[in-house]
Chains A and B, each alone.
Chain A
């Protein structure tokens, strides 16, 4: 008998029912909820007289709409945003689920506070009405985004109707070079496989370069599994994972910790497991990268030039032409010559403490040469820690706005938006047309690369700004 992958093992451990055609009912351990994709689901419950089956395993936080300026407790100016956040307040209270309101220091982006509070644990199933739920896969939890109908389904039944995905292994061998980070790994993988390369699969990331990443870095890698089309990304738990989880408010304690740990240690793909697809990249070959187009697959090393649409084939020729037109770029232009107006550091991809440290290392003692730059910590606790470590001062002295926690300019549902034609170096996850504001132009990159662009005013190879003796980022 062939062995099982980590995905197979978590799937089997959560199977409630399986029909002959493979349609399965999967048990959900943690349900995370935010204000944008949940109001219609709660309304649906109300209309059909249903309740939340496991309120204790359901965690809500407003993050997409919230302003990130200080003094925001006074209320949200935009009426629709305010109504949406108020609806979440009301629903959380009415249905008795865990809730972190805007006024709570623990408030933040749902995918940052879930792990931070110890809600996310290895071997769990985690869902949220948000595609970046893939983030939680960094703990060896099966985590993926769902639509609002499915949010209602999970609220009512604590299960999800699923068909099993195929298994894909993405191995990153060797070591990363200095200046190369988790963001460069995940973007490079998408550049390699394309945004539909993972469709129908759950990805397990493995290999020496993945093992060497911190939990923060692993979350960055898994966060963008969805941008590669995969339902979820996974990294098998190890000592790094256990060390991160231990002592978190909702992590098991005492004898339960020992029991949990014993099971978590079995959560690895077997040697003889079957993989439907395998992708291998050498860590040494990965460079600091940026995106040039309007799809996350439009990835190139910072040392490259803007491609010519005619270099592509099929539908990508027209798509690349449309992208360059939208982005205001010419084929052959050096990527490092592209001037930047705005820098955004934050999001569920790169709004954690390690991301802020990496950016601050580049910014220390320098001033920004862009029109505006903002750093939006992923949670109130990340913000507090960064203040304690002196990072906030480095950002402020460099000319960055130091903001409160939220999704902010990653998707521009709150007032943090790009103007038409404004060009942004962003640490977020999507460079789609209009994503950060109508007509806004987004280049995705790592926090260190975004910081480098901030101090030079153009896309920049961060390695040029690093001290020779500097530690690898």
Chain B
């Protein structure tokens, strides 16, 4: 997994609540058997019209935000399905950090597995970052995972929380499966205990 340490880039404002996984990546793009190449279809139905032309008003189609690496959004971001195609599409587009007042549980987990940092902050702070993002491409933010701080284009610093284990995995780019495999003795011993206590499983 790609490491995440610090990020200095353009933040795109998406002031919508309940952005669901069908909005992030509609089902017709779930038929792939690969993880790559979904960025072009990120937010497909908001981004393109019926004929496949870009809708100029959509934030990621605007010249200032085409290279956005951070997304500032509304409450309950990523609700809906468990499709990991959602973070894959976000990552493939080039976005590595999402800030919102809250995230749906499965989407939040999926982000960390893909080198994306989701940051939940109180509404007032998200509002502040939203206003900063609305200034366009010249207003770049910095996200520092080590220090757990976001610095706005004005130099204001906002601290954020992140689970220590997830932070460690993200900063080191660690593969979860490899880590768990190191505990295979514990899994073996659990299985022998369970074979006694719950043999029907």
Chain A interfacial positions (CB closer than 8 Å to B): 13, 16-17, 19, 21, 23, 25, 27, 29, 36-37, 39-40, 43, 48, 50, 53, 57, 64-65, 78, 80-81, 83-84, 87, 121, 123-124, 129-131, 133, 144-150, 152-153, 156-159, 161, 163, 195-196, 199-200, 226, 229-231, 252, 256-257, 259-260, 263, 295, 314-316, 318-319, 322, 411-413, 420, 430, 432-435, 438
| Chain B residues in 8 Å Cβ range of A121 | 200-201
Please report the C-alpha to C-alpha distance between residue A130 and residue B191 in the assembled complex, in whole angstroms: 25
Judging by beta carbons under 8 Å apart, are B186 and A131 in contact?
no
Judging by beta carbons under 8 Å apart, are B23 and A432 in contact?
yes
Judging by beta carbons under 8 Å apart, are A80 and B32 in contact?
yes
Judging by beta carbons under 8 Å apart, are A149 and B84 in contact?
yes
Given known pairs A37-B82, A319-B16, A432-B22, the reply for A438 and B50 (CB within 8 Å) is yes
Judging by beta carbons under 8 Å apart, are A148 and B165 in contact?
no
Judging by beta carbons under 8 Å apart, are B18 and A319 in contact?
yes
Judging by beta carbons under 8 Å apart, are A84 and B102 in contact?
no
Asked if B74 lies at the interface with its beta carbon under 8 angstroms from chain A, I say yes
Cβ-neighbour of A37 out of B84, B113, B176, B194 (below 8 A):
B84
The residue in chain A whose Cβ has the minimal distance to the Cβ of B103 is A199
User: Which of B28, B74, B81, B84 counts the most A-chain CB atoms under 10 A from its CB?
Assistant: B81
Chain B interface size, as a band, is: 35 or more
Asked if B20 lies at the interface with its beta carbon under 8 angstroms from chain A, I say yes
Nearest CB of chain B from residue A133's CB, rounded to whole Å: 8
Judging by beta carbons under 8 Å apart, are B180 and A435 in contact?
no
Judging by beta carbons under 8 Å apart, are A150 and B109 in contact?
yes
Tell me which residues from 1 to 25 in chain B have a Cβ below 8 Å from any Cβ of chain A: 15-18, 20, 22-23
Please report the C-alpha to C-alpha distance between residue A196 and residue B120 in the assembled complex, in whole angstroms: 13
Cβ-neighbour of B22 out of A27, A149, A315, A433 (below 8 A):
A433
Asked if B94 lies at the interface with its beta carbon under 8 angstroms from chain A, I say no
Given known pairs A159-B187, A319-B16, A413-B30, the reply for A130 and B81 (CB within 8 Å) is yes
Judging by beta carbons under 8 Å apart, are B80 and A432 in contact?
yes
Chain B interfacial positions (CB closer than 8 Å to A): 15-18, 20, 22-23, 26-28, 30-35, 45, 50, 74-76, 79-84, 87, 102-106, 109-110, 113-114, 163-165, 176-177, 179-181, 183-184, 186-187, 190-191, 194, 198-201
Known: A16-B190, A163-B163. 14 other contacts (CB 8 A): A25-B183, A87-B33, A130-B81, A147-B84, A159-B187, A195-B18, A226-B106, A259-B200, A260-B198, A260-B200, A318-B17, A319-B16, A432-B23, A434-B22
| Chain A residues in 8 Å Cβ range of B26 | 434, 438
| Chain B residues in 8 Å Cβ range of A156 | 177, 180-181
Please report the C-alpha to C-alpha distance between residue A17 and residue B103 in the assembled complex, in whole angstroms: 27
Judging by beta carbons under 8 Å apart, are A40 and B33 in contact?
yes
Please report the C-alpha to C-alpha distance between residue A280 and residue B131 in the assembled complex, in whole angstroms: 39
| Chain B residues in 8 Å Cβ range of A229 | 76, 79, 104-105
Cβ-neighbour of B200 out of A19, A256, A434 (below 8 A):
A256
Cβ-neighbour of B35 out of A40, A84, A144, A315 (below 8 A):
A40
